[in-house]
Structures are given as C-alpha cells and as structure tokens.
Structure 1
Amino acid sequence: MSDEQPRTKADADDPLKVESKEHEQGKSEIEVKEENLPSRAAAVHELIRMEGEKELERDWVALLWSAVAAGLSMGASLAAKGIFHARLPDDPSRFFIENIGYTFGFIIVIMARQQLFTENTVTAVLPIMHKPTPRNFLILFRLWGVVLLGNLIGTGLASLAFIHMPIFDDNTRSAFVSLSEEVMKNSPSEMFANGILAGWIIATMVWMFPSAGAAKIWIIVLMTYLVAICDLTHIVVGSVEILYLVFSGALPWQEFFYPFAIPTLAGNIIGGTFIFALISHAQIRNDMSIKSKAAKLEAEKATAKAKKP
C-alpha cells in the first residue's frame, strides 16, 4: 500500500505485536483492496484479519473495561426478553415475539464496539491462522482470557442489579427465573452441541459485516434472533440468565460452571474457531497461494526477459 513504513526494531521487540508476513516484509498494513486480491472473499478475510490484529494488540486494561461494558450491555437481552414474556399472553406467538428481546444486547454491544468473547472466536483467530507462532497464540489467549473475564464480570453485575435494584416488578422477575430455568434443562452434551451452532452463527454474522454496509443492524437482528429461536446456548447471554439464578439462591454456584459454562464455552469456541474460521481461512489460503505463485512466475519471466540481450 502507498503508506507502508518499514517495521522498526521496537515493533519486533514488542511482546504484544502480532507476528505476520506483512511485518516480516516491512509492510505496516494488510492489503485489503479487492482489486489487488484474488477474490471478494479474500478481501473480506483480510479486512477481518486486519481488525483482529488491532484487537490483539490493544492494551489489556482497555480490553477489560470494554468487555465489562459488553457484559453489562448483554443484560438488555434478558431484560427485554423477560418483559415481553411477562406481559404477552401465554400462546404460541409469545415465544417468537419475546425472542426479539434476545437481540437487544447484541445490538448494543456490536454497534457500540464493545468486546464480546464470541466475536473474538473468529476476528482475533484469523491473524493466528495466518501465522501460527507461539507468540501469536500467547497474544490470542491473553485476549480471550481478558475479554471472557470482563464479560463474566459484566454479566454478574447485571444479574445482581436485576435482583437488588427496584427496577422490575414481580411478574418480570418471575419471567427471568422461568427463562433462565429453561436453559438449565439442557444436559451438558446439549449445552455443548447448542454452543457449537451458536458459535458458528455468530462467526457467520461477523464474516458478513464487511459487506453489510447500512444493513449491519439487520444482520445482527436476524442472526442473533436465529440463535434465540433455536434455543442455542451462548456463554455471555447465558451467563446473565444463569447468574441470575445463582445470585437469587435458586441454583448452586457449581452448576453455573457445569453443566452450563464449560460445555457452552467449549461449544462456542469450536463453532466459531475450529469450524467456521478454519474453513473460511482454508479457502482464502488456497486463493492467496495461487496468487502468490502467479506473481512469482510473472517476476521470474520479467527477470528472464530483462537478462536477454
């Protein structure tokens, strides 16, 4: 790109600087122009990878506060869903209407650009797939750990606020309990399987953002509504619900971790990273490899032509 600058020694020595082929070549940015890449999918891939590198290199304190804010914002999903559940008549239409409320937390978090763990199962993973070095893996695990911790702190604070602050009436509080207990009816294997599909859908949503333009908010609504009506498990939204049961005394602490958190977290990571991100990266890697070989062949032809008398 026209504004490329050589990578300095300070950059190379920075433990939070993501290792990439661009840095090795002295480039300061990832090429994201579609006309310079082999396919539209490659342009989307590189845009997400560039965003992932920025997230991986952020200060951990900034990440933590952003993740706490996201956890708090996710409380809006339970609040809206509970209000709809308490006030709508008990008929089949209630299920489809109340699950619109599930999308509210995602809209707030994503449009406000707060840190959500399940977004980072694809965004932050692409730079590591591009160059899977030990340092890059350490940076990824640092990001995941900080963001997950912040999200859980935020969801815990939201749950406590819903219990102890005089915000909701008794019918709405009963709805919170009822909705949360529905999640706990899943067995550990169901939590895990549902988490895989939820992780895959959220990763798909992230992949669609670069092409969404002004329709981004509708992509968020449609994809997260799909997660809701399929009764899938999501580590952050689910934590608001399950911690509400824990803090209200309806559920022992250990049941938050198992059967809920551990299987759901594993499923979200596998769905977002090991299925969606790996498959998406595989197709782009092949495109980029073909382009690289073609560029190398052209360079060799040019060199050979220049050597002719």
Structure 2
Amino acid sequence: MADDLEVRKGDIDLSDDERAAVSESASTNAKVLHEVVRSRGDEELSRPAFSLIWSALAAGVAISASLLGQSLLESMLPDAPWRPLIASLGYSLGFVIVILGRLQLFTESTLSAVLPVATHPSWGNLGRLLRLWGLVLAFNLIGTLLIAFAIEAVLIGSSEQRAAMLDVSRKLLEHDWLATMKLGIPAGFLIAAVPWLLPAARGQSFWVVLTLTYFIALGGFAHVVAGSGEAWLLAAAGEISFSFAMLNLIVPALFGNIIGGTGLFALLAHAQVRQEL
C-alpha cells in the first residue's frame, strides 16, 4: 500500500509552488472550516461584556443602513415587476457594513457561538452562549431603536426619505405571527451560512455577504435585527404600538432565525464533522 502511494505521488509531476497550492486548497475542508468558525465563536464567547455591548450597539446602528438603502432604491425606481430585483440590493448595505466591519450581529452568533457549545457541551459553555446572545440581541435592538427615533424626528435623511422607509416597513404588517416566524427560518439559515463561508471565500467576502443578504430581501424573509428597525420605525410613527412591534414582529422573527441558524445550519454543520473531532 505504501509503495502504491509512492507510485501515485511519483506519477504527478508538480512544482513546489503547485504542491503548496494543492495543500492550501485541500486544507479548506469541512473539518477545517468547523474549527475556524468554532475558534472564532470561542473568542466571541470570551469577549468582555463592555466590548460586546458597544460592538452590538454599533451593529444595530449600522444595520439600519439596509432600510435606508432599500427604501432609496424603491423610491427612485418605477413601479414595475422587476423593481424588487434592483431594490433588494439596497438591503445588503447594512449587512456589508456590519459583517465586513466585524461588528457583533446576533444572527451570525447563531452559528459561530453555538459550535463551541456543540463541540464541548457543558453548563458553563451554555451560560456563556446565553450571556452573549442576551447582550448582543439587546443592544442590537437598542441600536435600531435609536435610529428609528432619529428617522422619525427627521434627524437622519429627509421627510421624503422617511416616507419611503415607512412604505418599506409596512410590508411587515402583511404577515401574521406564524407567517413571520416561518419567514425567519430561511433568513436565519442564510445569515448563519455567512461565518461558515467566509473562511473559504478567499478575498470574495463582499460577494458572499451581498449574495446571501440579497436573497433575504428578495424572498421577503424576516431578519430579527434588520426587521426590528422597520418595526421600531412603524411604532415611532404611531402606526403600531411598541408592544405590538416587539411581540408580533420582532419575537416571531427571532424564533425563526434561531430555528434556521441554530436548529438547522449550526447543528447540520456540526453533525457532518462530529465523528472526526
């Protein structure tokens, strides 16, 4: 067997650089990706609360650019069947800022922060996960709430842009609680795929983020943090109550994102390499 292996190696005439390229490509397998994402998740779980709070708050503020980008494109395009194909690109704006800027977004942590717990399950690790989730989600939502108040007071943008953002936000009201949760599942799955794909993106991170988030918008899927900005804006404008925004729009999207991100993507990503760890 060893001789056969040597023969096979000898049959392939590669330079040192070519062999290095083969080795580099071969290293990006599922087990390696799992370890890269798991180690990053472990770093997130170990971050000080102060760091998590400010990073999550910044992410909540920055993700509001998605509502601005989508509403600007929709307001400038004619009312045609193809309009969503273009306007949905604007939705990716906030995600590009947040993800490439390495800010703390709740839905990314439904994969990255879960893998350390799945790999080494313990009450201590579960407590670290719940601490991370609680802080990040809370301050993501506070960030989007602050921007919603600023938009309503026309401290950001113009009155026309405020009206355009409200038009986009009203689409949330087309779905009941259960439908919103179901729409949250694919959004959670797609966003959880981002930290899994980025280590293998090899300089194409922008396109990974753009593609995945574009299809969240195109499918009308529910993302808890980006959608919270729309829900808060409707509440700030007096069209719904803040309790309705939280209980009927944000909470079902949250459950759907957790199901899609943790229940589907994270557990499936972990299961495929569990026996190799």
TM-score (norm: length of structure 2): 0.88
Residues 70 and 90 in structure 2, CA contact (< 8 A), matched pair in contact too: yes
What secondary structure sits across from 1:90 in the alignment? coil
Instruction: State the match for 1:257 in structure 2.
Output: 246
For the pair 1:88 / 2:77, whether they are aligned, the reply is yes
Which structure: greater helix fraction? 2
Distance 1:56 1:183 in 2: 32
**What residue ranges of structure 2 are gaps of 5+ in the alignment?**
1-22
Among 47, 51, 62, the alignment partner of 1:58 is 47
Kindly provide the amino acid, as one letter, of the partner of residue 183 in structure 1.
L
Question: Is the counterpart of residue 287 in structure 1 residue 276 in structure 2?
Answer: yes
Paired amino acid for 1:40? N
Q: Which amino acid aligns with 1:273?
A: T
Kindly provide the amino acid, as one letter, of the partner of residue 79 in structure 2.
D
The one-letter code sitting in structure 1 at the alignment partner of 2:184 is G
Contact persistence 2:70–2:88 (CA under 8 A): yes
Query: 1:253 deviation in Å?
Result: 1.4
Alignment of 1:18-57 (within 5 A): 40-57=29-46
Cα distance in 1 for residues equivalent to 2:276 and 2:217: 35
1:103 maps to what in 2? 92
Aligned residue for 1:107, secondary structure, equals helix
> Contact 2:114 / 2:129 at 8 angstroms: preserved in 1?
yes
Q: Deviations over 1:26-73 (max 9, x none)?
A: xxxxxxxx89x9981000000000000000000001100000000000
Find 1:185's aligned residue among 156, 174, 177.
Answer: 174
Question: Which segment drifts farther, 256-265 or 218-227?
Answer: 256-265
User: Aligned equivalents of 1:268 and 1:168: distance in 2?
Assistant: 30
For 1:119, give the aligned amino acid: E
**Greater relative CO (CA pairs within 8 A, separation 6+):** 2
Whether the aligned pair in 2 keeps the contact of 1:38 and 1:287 (CA below 8 Å) is no
Give the partner amino acid of 1:248.
A
| Aligned length in residues | 254
> Mapping of 1:1-309 within 5 angstroms?
40-288=29-277
DSSP-derived class of the 1:89 partner: coil
Shift in Å at residue 168 of structure 1? Answer: 2.7
Stretches of structure 1 that go unaligned for 5 or more consecutive residues are 1-33, 289-309
2:231 and 2:250 in contact (8 A); partners too: no
The structure number with the bigger radius of gyration is: 1
Q: Deviations over 1:162-185 (max 9, x none)?
A: 111344333322221111110121
Q: Is the 8 A contact 2:65 2:93 kept in 1?
A: yes
Q: Does the 8 A contact of 1:246 with 1:252 survive in 2? A: yes
| In 2, Cα distance between equivalents of 1:142 and 1:150 | 12
Task: State the partner residue of 2:12.
Answer: none
Counterpart in 2 of 1:31? none
Q: What RMSD, in angstroms, separates the aligned Cα atoms of the two structures?
A: 1.6
Q: SS of the residue aligned with 2:163?
A: helix
1:186-233 deviations in Å (ceiling 9; x for gaps):
111111111111101111122111100210000000000011100000
Runs of 4+ that moved beyond 6 A: none
